[in-house]
């Protein structure tokens, strides 16, 4: 079993010996960590996690008012206050300012990228005070705008249908993507639209709707509490699959690897 002390020593060695070559020179990086190095994302994530943990603990009794989400250096903070109560609102604003200015070290400063009650976060759109929830979350397809405009997709997220990918891998990727859609939607009515956008994206790569329908049926089994939404998604994909058959697309089969 690897001990915490061994992990610590390994991390310190990795930090101390960040080597890079420029021309004929072999240099050692003494500040920060090299971009592109295999261990750098993990170290960056650990540094951000520790800073957020220590800052959160410094709040004392106010910790119960604060909720943070973070993916490496992409972060959100939510602070509860009593609506119409000036003192609690002022305290919430002070906490947000302190988080912005003092959470991380001098080498990493937070940059505000959202202004208002609605903003993009990874594959989601977060909306404060909108809809039936105090804080709502909707799945966002990063290729959505390009799909609607008929432009080249800026993000290459899936292998082409005709590429040599094992069936199990292809199916697993689709199921995992739909599970993220399910996790990202506080309003399950958004699931059908997000699934339709995903099929539109997959269609540009030659995927027939039956593949995503099979993945959606599996998600329906895994998330029975959201059966109504995923049942509607399966029904939509079935309609698209029948339409695909009428256009002559139903004869396509998954490509096989040599020896399969």
Q: Do 100 and 125 belong to one domain?
A: no
Domain that holds residue 45: 40-112
Does pLDDT of 253 surpass 80? no
Phi, psi at 22, each rounded to 5°: -125, 110
Which residue intervals of the chain are DSSP H helices?
4-16, 40-57, 86-102, 144-149, 167-184, 190-203, 209-222, 227-246
pTM of the full structure: 0.74
Lowest-pLDDT range, 54-58, 109-113, 165-169, 171-175? Answer: 109-113
Does pLDDT of 257 surpass 50? no
Q: Do 127 and 192 belong to one domain?
A: yes
Q: What is the 3-state secondary structure (H, E, C) of 48-88?
A: HHHHHHHHHHCCHHHHHHEEEEEECCEEEEEECCCCCCHHH
Percentage of residues in the chain having pLDDT higher than 70? 92
Q: Where residue 21 falls among pLDDT bands split at 50, 70, 90?
A: confident
How many domains is the chain built from? 3
* Final residue of a structural domain among 51, 82, 112: 112
Lowest-pLDDT range, 129-138, 149-158, 173-182, 189-198? Answer: 129-138
Q: What is the 3-state secondary structure (H, E, C) of 110-145?
A: CCCCCCCCEEEECCEEEEECCCCCCEEEEECCCCHH
pLDDT in tens, 100-132: 888 988 777 788 877 778 888 889 999 887 665
In this prediction, residue 246 carries a pLDDT of 67
Q: Is residue 257 part of a domain?
A: no
Q: What is the mean pLDDT of residues 23-46?
A: 84
Q: Do 4 and 89 belong to one domain?
A: no
Q: Where residue 258 falls among pLDDT bands split at 50, 70, 90?
A: very low
Q: What is the mean pLDDT of the chain?
A: 87
Does pLDDT of 250 surpass 70? no
Q: Is residue 253 part of a domain?
A: no
* Final residue of a structural domain among 87, 112, 137: 112
């Amino acid at each position: 079993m690897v001990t915490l002390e061994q992990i610590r020593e390994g991390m310190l060695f990795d930090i101390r010996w960040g080597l890079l070559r420029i021309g004929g020179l072999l240099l050692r990086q003494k500040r920060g960590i090299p971009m592109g190095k295999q261990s750098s994302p993990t170290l960056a994530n650990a540094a951000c996690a520790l800073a957020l943990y220590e800052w959160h603990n410094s709040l004392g009794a106010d910790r119960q008012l604060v909720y943070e989400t973070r993916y490496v250096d992409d972060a959100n903070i939510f602070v509860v206050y009593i609506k119409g109560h000036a003192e609690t609102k002022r305290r919430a604003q002070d906490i947000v300012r302190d988080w912005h200015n003092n959470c991380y070290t001098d080498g990493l400063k937070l940059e505000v990228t959202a202004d208002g009650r609605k903003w993009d976060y990874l594959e989601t759109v977060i909306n404060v005070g909108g809809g039936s929830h105090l804080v709502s979350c909707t799945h966002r397809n990063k290729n959505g705008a390009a799909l609607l405009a008929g432009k080249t997709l800026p993000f290459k997220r899936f292998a082409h249908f005709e590429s040599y990918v094992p069936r199990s891998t292809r199916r697993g990727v689709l199921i995992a993507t739909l599970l993220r859609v399910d996790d990202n939607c506080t309003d399950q009515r958004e699931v059908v639209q997000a699934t339709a956008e995903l099929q539109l994206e997959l269609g540009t790569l030659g995927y027939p709707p039956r593949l995503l329908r099979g993945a959606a049926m599996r998600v329906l089994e895994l998330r029975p509490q959201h059966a109504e939404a995923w049942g509607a998604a399966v029904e939509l994909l079935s309609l698209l699959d029948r339409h695909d058959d009428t256009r002559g697309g139903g004869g396509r089969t998954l490509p096989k690897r040599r020896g399969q």
